[in-house]
């Protein structure tokens, strides 16, 4: 039965259950039947469904990781680094930590709460983080709006320690019908670092990005709206971002997929990562400073041309 938004109790629309691995998971629902699921393991969004119950994020069926290692799919949080080597795991520790529910977050702007079902999560330094000895607080709000849009807001603060720098990405696994039927609009003419060529810098020549082989790139100083058009499903994902200058694009294609223990050989066809990120220029925070990175993902019918997307709204 549908609920009118006027009587929808957004607080009640947030339910805490257990994940398959016994870790708390928060379920967000909206009046029209859309939902999102967030695990305290990594603060990872593991599911985002539209009002028809269709899953909009890709999650591998080949679960080989044990918590707190990130499940392949959903939206893992890459912090404090992206793709670097060194003492930390490749995409940093945040996605492999157990987060807590933040009962008393500093306020956000009213439109980040009104008419939304949301949860606030918190990650603080723990004893085992000697490899990254910084005084940080990481607050993450995940919200589901009445129109089904999914928003993630990260606020990272240097509490009172020495300055620190970090890179960041929302590693967003979009579910697509067939990677060969997908194109990205909004990244044309940009420079990108190609992770398949030792991060060498190139300039995108195409008038849209399509996929015929493995792609692993970081597009630099990208517009705050990028569209991912799934021709077969007549569906377009609109990725809006703020505070995230770059967009990392990844599809492992066939050969790399076969080498991955947590991805079935042909699952690369059903996924595409389009990650709002801050990679080229790491963020540096002095004591007391805070950084905010926002990501909103929505789905519209692909019959709309990309000009339709409001490039300014964010
Ligand atoms: O998205 C870019 C990337 O760095 C790829 O090179 C690939 O490693 C992917 O992230 C997944 O990383 P993960 O550590 O989750 O296997």
Pairing state of beta strands 100-101 and 173-175? unpaired
Q: Looking at the domain assignment, is residue 308 inside a domain?
A: no
Contact, 272 vs 176, CB < 8 A? yes
What gap in Å lies between CA 286 and CA 216, rounded to an integer?
32
Q: Whose CA is nearest to atom 15 of ligand 1?
A: 72
Whether ligand 1 lies within 6 angstroms of the CB of 139 is answered as no
For residue 83, report the distance from its CA to the centre of ligand 1, in Å.
7
Q: Looking at the domain assignment, is residue 47 inside a domain?
A: yes
Whether ligand 1 lies within 6 angstroms of the CB of 248 is answered as yes
For residue 176, report the distance from its CA to the centre of ligand 1, in Å.
18
Q: Looking at the domain assignment, is residue 314 inside a domain?
A: no
Burial 198-219 (b: 16+ CB within 10 A, else e): eeeeeebeeeebebeebbbbbb
Q: Whose CA is nearest to atom 1 of ligand 1?
A: 250
Q: Looking at the domain assignment, is residue 313 inside a domain?
A: no
Quick one: pLDDT at residue 215?
98
Q: Looking at the domain assignment, is residue 307 inside a domain?
A: no
Ligand 1 atom nearest to 195, measured from its CA: 6
pTM: 0.94
Among 157, 180, 168, CA closest to 75: 168
Q: Whose CA is nearest to atom 6 of ligand 1?
A: 216
Q: Whose CA is nearest to atom 4 of ligand 1?
A: 83
Ligand 1 atom nearest to 273, measured from its CA: 1
Whether ligand 1 lies within 6 angstroms of the CB of 90 is answered as yes
Among 15, 280, 285, 52, CA closest to 148: 52
Q: Looking at the domain assignment, is residue 278 inside a domain?
A: yes
Ligand 1 atom nearest to 76, measured from its CA: 15
Proportion of the chain above pLDDT 70, given as a percent: 91
Q: What angle do CA 108, 169, 30 make, to 5 degrees?
A: 50
Q: Looking at the domain assignment, is residue 309 inside a domain?
A: no
Whether ligand 1 lies within 6 angstroms of the CB of 273 is answered as yes
Number of domains in the chain: 1
DSSP state of 59: B
Query: Can you tell me the mean pLDDT for 239-261?
Result: 97
On average, the pLDDT of the chain sits at 91
Question: What confidence tens digit (pLDDT) does each residue in 189-232 have?
Answer: 999 999 999 999 999 998 899 999 999 999 999 999 999 999 99
- CATH code of 100's domain: 2.70.98.10
Question: What confidence tens digit (pLDDT) does each residue in 286-314 have?
Answer: 999 999 999 999 999 986 555 555 544 43
What gap in Å lies between CA 155 and CA 300, rounded to an integer?
28
Domain enclosing residue 60, as ranges: 3-301
């Amino acid at each position: 039965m549908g609920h009118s938004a006027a009587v929808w109790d957004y607080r009640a629309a947030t339910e805490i259950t257990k994940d398959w691995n016994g870790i708390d998971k928060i379920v967000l629902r909206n009046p029209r039947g859309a939902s999102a699921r967030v695990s305290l393991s990594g603060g990872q969004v593991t599911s985002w469904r539209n009002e028809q119950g269709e899953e909009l994020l890709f999650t591998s069926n080949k679960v080989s990781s044990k918590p707190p290692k990130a499940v392949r799919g959903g939206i893992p949080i890459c912090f404090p680094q992206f793709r670097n080597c060194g003492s930390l795991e490749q995409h940093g520790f945040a996605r492999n930590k157990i987060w807590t529910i933040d009962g008393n977050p500093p306020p956000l702007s009213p439109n980040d709460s009104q008419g939304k079902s949301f949860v606030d999560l918190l990650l603080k330094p723990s004893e085992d983080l000697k490899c990254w000895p910084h005084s940080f607080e990481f607050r993450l709000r995940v919200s589901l709006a009445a129109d089904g849009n999914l928003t993630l807001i990260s606020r990272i603060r240097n509490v009172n320690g020495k300055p620190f720098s970090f890179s960041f990405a929302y590693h967003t696994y979009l579910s697509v019908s067939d990677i060969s039927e997908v194109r990205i609009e909004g990244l044309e003419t940009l420079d990108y670092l190609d992770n398949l060529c030792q991060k060498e810098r190139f300039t995108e020549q195409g008038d849209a990005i399509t996929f015929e082989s493995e792609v692993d790139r970081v597009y630099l100083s990208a517009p705050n709206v990028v569209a991912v058009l799934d021709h077969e499903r007549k569906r377009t994902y609109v990725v809006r971002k703020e505070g995230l200058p770059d967009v990392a694009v990844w599809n492992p294609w066939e050969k790399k997929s076969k080498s991955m223990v947590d991805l079935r050989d042909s699952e690369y066809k059903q996924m595409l990562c389009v990650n709002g990120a801050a990679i080229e220029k790491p963020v540096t925070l002095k004591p007391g400073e805070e950084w905010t990175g926002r990501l909103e993902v929505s789905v519209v019918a692909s019959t709309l041309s990309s000009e339709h997307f409001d490039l300014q709204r964010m």
